[in-house]
Chain A
């Protein structure tokens, strides 16, 4: 790493590390939903990125609707989170009912069907919002940055997304491990037949899980609008990385998903600075493949007798 002084290097690591944290946040929000869905239903949802885009467009519509109100942008940014969740939740609920539930136990068919769904949804976005990217006005208090030293510069919107991610992750944890719904989800994930035989309506649990997973992707979309503009295909850019996170983390493990999102986002972000985006992706992918060869069950595997 010739040409960089020690001080430069620290600053680069801190700033790239922080850029990695924003990436980590969006990635984790996406991966949480995908991991719960995959863990419970073994459905690989290729359209997961499009649910994120639904959340982003919902935020865009909301900010448009509130534009003329005093403090409209401020309210819109906060309100966007529940609205984006709800929009993606409802869409997920309907799509589970229309499409996904007919395809359980047919993993290959779901892969194809959800891929087709992703294309349909992208075309739908294009027809509704146009091919051009749209952006959501960001209130002043989210612009600007935090400068702990002369050369380190941390954007505030990144900090806000981090905070949101921490809150959402905590909420997901609470939902999974402390609520009655979470118990149903964990039972169904562990043993579907037996869950039915203790009285759990597993089909209802499937629908709810799918919808909540999509809803979380919607929140990712709302967060996404504060760091980037949204186009019809924005979701597809994230889907591959999100899968990587889920597989690498060991599907169905919350801690694994977090650890995996963190390491993948950080590795990519820091390496990107030194060797450019594609090379960083290749190296990350190679590392993940090697680790998965050594530990096929992912980073965190359950330590319980089966």
Chain B
């Protein structure tokens, strides 16, 4: 499905992502674990095309996405839930979700979105900016999902969210994967959350993948040691 080869990303002269390779399959969740400042957000931004990659390739279902602008990558099947949600604060909840319908034929939000996120149905007329952090996170996921992605990218979806809501989000992500058979790439620092959703875990450090494990049998102590300073 998604195949990334030797991806390098720089801010000006300083390279932050130093040649990353990975691939994901349909119906698979890959978690990218790493401490603050290790390059998770940079990697995700370059995958969706907000930051240009200096070299490497990003291939989705046989199509090269590197060099394409963001909106064409979305049309090709990527969807992005950024760190910090980045919903449109002055738009209503409904309008926020509708903004994700740009690359699909239907201009109506499918009902299943509200089945996955019932709270959004009750709040659809409210301004996005007036939602709580957890609700905004659900809104950002809903907005990404309506574009019918093949690969869903989530950058630290649990950041700043209370444990009970984190459980809900894990449940929803598993549900989405089961329903849609898409692949999910998620960056994280919370190991318990990752363990409940991931098929595979990789550890990123200083812009390189340094460790990889299967989800079910993952050696949690080892990964935790990478995450602690």
Contacts and interface: CB of A to CB of B under 8 A. Distances in A.
Interface of A: 180, 183-184, 186-187, 190-191, 193-203, 302, 304-306
Contacts of A201: 69, 71, 102
Contacts of A305: 89, 129-130
A197 B49 contact: yes
A194 B82 contact: yes
B98 to A, nearest CB: 6
B27 interface: no
Contacts, number: 73
A104 to B, nearest CB: 14
Given A187-B99, A194-B82, A202 B71 contact: yes
B50 interface: yes
Query: Which label, helix, strand, loop or mixed, suits the secondary structure of the A interface?
Result: helix
Contacts of A306: 89, 129
Interface in B62-92: 69-71, 74-75, 80, 82, 86, 88-91
A200 B88 contact: no
B88 A191 contact: yes
Given A183-B98, A305-B129, A198 B143 contact: yes
B70 A197 contact: yes
Contacts of B71: 196, 199-202
Nearest to B97: A198
A196 B48 CA distance: 9
Nearest to B128: A304
Interface string B98-115: 111011000100000000
Contacts of B129: 304-306
B4 interface: no
Contacts of B80: 197-198
**Among A190, A191, A194, A197: residue with most chain B CB under 10 A:** A197
Contacts of A197: 48-50, 70, 74, 80, 82
B30 interface: no
A183 B109 CA distance: 14
B88 A190 contact: yes
A186 B91 contact: yes
Contact of B99 (A193, A198, A302): A198
A195 B99 CA distance: 8
A106 to B, nearest CB: 18
Contacts of A202: 71
A194 B89 contact: no
B48 A187 contact: no
